[in-house]
């Protein structure tokens, strides 16, 4: 299949061959105008020719939601999302969206169809029986909205019907953290565990589990007491463990305490001993936290061991991710500026930090008022 990009006045247009009409035998062509630049027109043409080659090209008036969502997945999700996100999208599309909404012509899809879909999923959306959570259905809504938003952009539709639908409201998840006494109790109890350094790093830095397990020795600056977060570990179905950029899309640096630096040096020495012990069979990947033979730690195993360590310490149960919340909460309670905490956590904006940890701020306000009162007490 061939196509051309041409200029007409101040804008550009594309024209490409759709093959022969099976009824008339004549060649069919499609033309699209209104591109501001040649580059924009060429990109559109390449996308359409690629879709024709793959057999996923459809005329907007004839396409079903099932056909379109396959087209969207091939032409957007595959090249614009991470492997993990793509897997999640693929599962939702195959298990939920296509069976329930796939038969509708995309041009005939109504807000009421989506509203009925959400209600049904809340009642009996699980494959094994029972309803999906409001949070899960909200994820479905976000995906549908994105899919239809692109349909408007690509001129399959004139409006996004998902914008007229109210997704289910979700309750804010209650945050569970430890205070300083509980942190000390836990670290003392788990001091002989092979995962001790993992727990210690999580508490002292607020790093995510994947960031901790993806940390390499080359990312640790012992001299200046800095950890550089440059990659994160992510388990991928059928691919095992992979490493990619951090969640924010860019790395960050975290200043660490002399105590954590000293403890990581101990771990480094222990790893050198393991290398000598295993010899050529040691799987050196440069990771700070690894199995005794050098292989990466399994994220799920780290979380399981963490829960067992909590039981052994006789503390109230929290998730591994809550160590990140614990780090942030303790820092804020000590009067550390929210901007600094935000940078340590890798939040894209300080507003995210303030929103998540708003429960800590009222106490900080009270303490600040008391300190100011003491400052001017002599007046």
Mean pLDDT of 6-10: 89
Q: What's the pLDDT at 175?
A: 80
Band (1; pLDDT cuts 50, 70, 90): low
Q: What's the pLDDT at 22?
A: 65
Fold adopted by 58-164: DNA polymerase; domain 1 (1.10.150)
CA angle 216/307/259 to nearest 5° reads: 45
Higher pLDDT, 162 or 56: 162
Mean pLDDT of 66-72: 93
Class in CATH terms, 180-370: mainly alpha
For residue 16, give the DSSP letter. Answer: E
Q: Does position 209 have pLDDT exceeding 90, yes or no?
A: yes
Q: Which of 11-25, 62-76, 273-287 has the lowest mean pLDDT?
A: 11-25
For 102-159, give the DSSP string.
Answer: TTSBGGG--HHHHHHHHHHHHHH-STTSSPPPHHHHHHHHHHHHHHHHHHHHTTS-SS
Residues 256 and 227 sit within 8 Å (Cβ to Cβ) = yes
Q: What's the pLDDT at 349?
A: 87
Q: Does position 378 have pLDDT exceeding 70, yes or no?
A: no
Q: Does position 171 have pLDDT exceeding 90, yes or no?
A: no
Q: Report which of 81, 147, 84, 89 is spatially closest to residue 114, judged by C-alpha positions.
A: 147
Q: What's the pLDDT at 357?
A: 83
Band (59; pLDDT cuts 50, 70, 90): low
Task: Output phi, psi for 285, to 5 deg.
Answer: -115, 10
Q: Mean pLDDT over all residues of the chain?
A: 89
Higher pLDDT, 1 or 326: 326
Q: What's the pLDDT at 20?
A: 73
Contacts of 147 (CB under 8 A, 6+ apart): 68, 69, 72
Q: What's the count of helices (H) and strands (E) in the chain, helices before strands?
A: 16, 8
Q: What's the pLDDT at 278?
A: 93
Residues 364 and 335 sit within 8 Å (Cβ to Cβ) = yes
Residue with tokens 């569970």: 176
| pTM of the complete model | 0.67
Q: Which of 77-81, 102-106, 133-137, 288-292 has the lowest mean pLDDT?
A: 77-81
Band (226; pLDDT cuts 50, 70, 90): very high
Within its chain, how far is the Cα of 51 from the centroid? Answer: 28
Q: What's the pLDDT at 58?
A: 65
Q: How far apart are CA 315 and CA 181, in angstroms?
A: 11
Band (126; pLDDT cuts 50, 70, 90): confident
Mean pLDDT of 318-322: 95
The full set of domain ranges for the chain reads: 58-164, 180-370
Residues 176 and 316 sit within 8 Å (Cβ to Cβ) = yes
């Amino acid at each position: 299949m061939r196509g051309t990009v041409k200029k007409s006045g101040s804008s550009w247009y594309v024209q490409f061959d759709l093959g022969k009409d099976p009824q008339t035998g004549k060649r069919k062509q499609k033309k699209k105008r209104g591109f501001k630049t040649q580059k924009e027109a060429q990109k559109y043409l390449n996308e359409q020719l690629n879709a024709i080659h793959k057999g996923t090209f459809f005329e907007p008036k004839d396409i079903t939601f099932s056909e379109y969502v396959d087209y969207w997945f091939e032409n957007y999700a595959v090249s614009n999302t991470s492997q993990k996100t793509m897997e999640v999208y693929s599962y939702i599309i195959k298990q939920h969206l296509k069976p329930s909404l796939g038969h509708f012509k995309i041009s005939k899809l109504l807000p009421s169809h989506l509203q009925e879909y959400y209600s049904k999923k809340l009642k009996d959306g699980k494959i094994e029986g029972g309803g999906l959570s409001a949070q899960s259905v909200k994820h479905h809504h976000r995906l549908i909205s994105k899919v239809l938003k692109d349909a408007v952009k690509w001129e399959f539709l004139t409006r996004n019907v998902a914008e007229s639908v109210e997704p289910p409201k979700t309750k804010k998840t209650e945050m569970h953290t430890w205070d300083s006494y509980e942190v000390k109790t836990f670290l003392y109890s788990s001091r002989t565990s092979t995962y001790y350094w993992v727990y210690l790093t999580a508490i002292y830095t607020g790093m995510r589990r994947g960031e901790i397990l993806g940390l390499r020795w080359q990312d640790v600056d012992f001299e200046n007491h800095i950890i550089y977060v440059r990659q994160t570990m992510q388990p991928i179905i059928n691919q095992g463990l992979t490493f990619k950029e951090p969640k924010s899309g860019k790395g960050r640096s975290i200043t660490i305490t002399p105590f954590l630096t000293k403890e990581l040096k101990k771990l480094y020495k222990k790893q050198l001993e393991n290398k000598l012990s295993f010899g050529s069979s040691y799987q050196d990947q440069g990771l700070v936290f690894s199995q005794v033979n050098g292989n990466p730690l399994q994220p799920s195993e780290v979380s399981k061991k963490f829960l067992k360590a909590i039981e052994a310490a006789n503390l109230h149960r929290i998730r591994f991710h809550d160590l990140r919340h614990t780090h942030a909460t303790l820092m804020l309670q000590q009067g550390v500026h929210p901007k600094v905490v935000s940078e340590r956590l890798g939040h894209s904006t300080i507003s995210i930090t303030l929103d998540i940890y708003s429960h800590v701020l009222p106490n900080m306000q009270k303490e600040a008022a008391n300190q100011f009162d003491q400052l001017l007490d002599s007046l």
